[in-house]
Amino acid sequence: MKLRHFLQFKDFSRAEHEYLFARTKKIKSKFKKYQRYWPLEDRTLAMIFEKPSTRTRMSFEAGMHQLGGAAIYLFTRDSQLGRGEPVEDAAQVISRMCDIIMVRTFEQDIIDRFAANSRVPVINGLTNEYHPCQILADIYTFIEHRGSIKGKTVAWIGDSNNVCNTWLQAAEILDFKVNVSTPPGYELEAERKNRHVEEFKDPMAAAKGAHLVTTDVWTSMGFEAENEERKRDFQDWMVDAEMMKAAKKDALFMHCLPAHRGEEVAAEVIDGKQSVVWDEAENRLHAQKALLEFLLLGKK
Ligand code: CP
Ligand code: NVA
């Protein structure tokens, strides 16, 4: 089988994403029926974390066990990576001892260099630039609740971060629209824009008529030094009930989590009827099981 990586959402075609959504549904249904499904027996996933995690670690580790395999957790601090071992060398060594690798790190360049030196598939578990596994689960969640995302409008309110960038790639591949509203000074980088993206100065205008409203923390991991400044700059970019009213009547609300109630989202929204954040988090498990299966075994 040809070696494939999942470093950005656009590494897979539309047909491959559609295949993954269909597989996610099947794998989720087996899990819900307590059916044993062990296609990855004797396979090992290595998970390298340079930033903290709850969902990504839980979903990959539990997912690998549920598929009959094993998972090994490495945090930079406890590994030689934390003492300056080159990422290229770490990739050579780790990829000789396991079947697939997930990496959560800082710049995309680090995971690109890791993958270029790996003998086995590498999955992006979040970088400063992208979070493709998150959007895989988010779009699957949208499909579960509302059907195909094609032709729909997603409103992104807040920081032009890794999760936002990934939505923009997904819009191009799966043919939907993203309305983006960021505070002045935090606009999209020119190279992230595409013909499926529209920018709005006013977050209410971005939310207008959207089928899905989504946001994320004002300060992502690795940018903590900017926290106080961002709290001031982002004040008007909180998704509250009034903003949800501007969207379609049956609009969904999503957040990759962890969330800060009273900052990027009001408690009444994230804990309200339109919020699907718990399904969204759970679907990380099912979508990534489909991803692991695809990267290791190809189409079933
Ligand atoms: N959404 C997400 O990736 O969460 P964690 O940081 O907990 O993994
Ligand atoms: N944008 C956030 C997502 C956390 C899952 C971060 O990078 O910290």
Work out the mean pLDDT of the chain and round it to a whole number.
98
Furthest-apart CA atoms within the chain: distance in Å: 53
103 in contact with ligand 2, CB cutoff 6 A: no
Residue 120: predicted pLDDT: 98
Domains of the chain: 9-131+281-297 (3.40.50.1370), 134-277 (3.40.50.1370)
216 in contact with ligand 2, CB cutoff 6 A: yes
Name the CA radius of gyration of the chain, rounded.
19
Residue 85: predicted pLDDT: 96
Kindly give the distance from the C-alpha atom of residue 1 to the centroid of ligand 1, in angstroms, as a whole number: 30
Per DSSP, what are the bridge partners of residue 73? 47
Write out residues in the chain with pLDDT < 50, as ranges.
none
Q: Which residues contact 234 (CB under 8 A, 6 or more apart)?
A: 158, 159, 183, 186, 218, 263, 264
Instruction: For 139-192, write each residue's pLDDT tens digit.
Output: 999 999 999 999 999 999 999 999 999 999 999 999 999 999 999 999 999 999
Q: Which of 134, 169, 274, 288 is catalytic?
A: 134
Ligand nearest to the CA of 128: 2
Instruction: For 227-241, write each residue's pLDDT tens digit.
Output: 999 999 999 999 999
Kindly give the distance from the C-alpha atom of residue 221 to the centroid of ligand 2, in angstroms, as a whole number: 6
Residue 1: predicted pLDDT: 87
Residue 154: predicted pLDDT: 99
Which ligand 2 atom lies nearest to the CA of residue 56? 5
* Known catalytic membership, residue 145: no
Which ligand 2 atom lies nearest to the CA of residue 55? 5
Residue 237: predicted pLDDT: 98
* Known catalytic membership, residue 169: no
Kindly give the distance from the C-alpha atom of residue 69 to the centroid of ligand 2, in angstroms, as a whole number: 27
User: Minimal CA–CA distance to 153: which of 196, 110, 122, 94?
Assistant: 196
* DSSP output for the chain: -----BSSGGGS-HHHHHHHHHHHHHHHHHHHTT----TTTT-EEEEEESS--SHHHHHHHHHHHHTT-EEEEEEGGGSGGGGT--HHHHHHHHTTT-SEEEEE-SSHHHHHHHHHT-SS-EEES--SS--HHHHHHHHHHHHHHHS--TT-EEEEES---HHHHHHHHHHHHHT-EEEEE--TT-PPPGGG--TTEEE-SSHHHHHTT-SEEEE--SS-TT-GGGHHHHHHHTTT--B-HHHHHHS-TT-EEEE-S---BTTTB-HHHHTSTTB-HHHHHHHHHHHHHHHHHHHHH---
Q: Which of 104, 230, 255, 286 is catalytic?
A: 104
* Known catalytic membership, residue 284: yes
56 in contact with ligand 1, CB cutoff 6 A: yes
162 in contact with ligand 1, CB cutoff 6 A: no
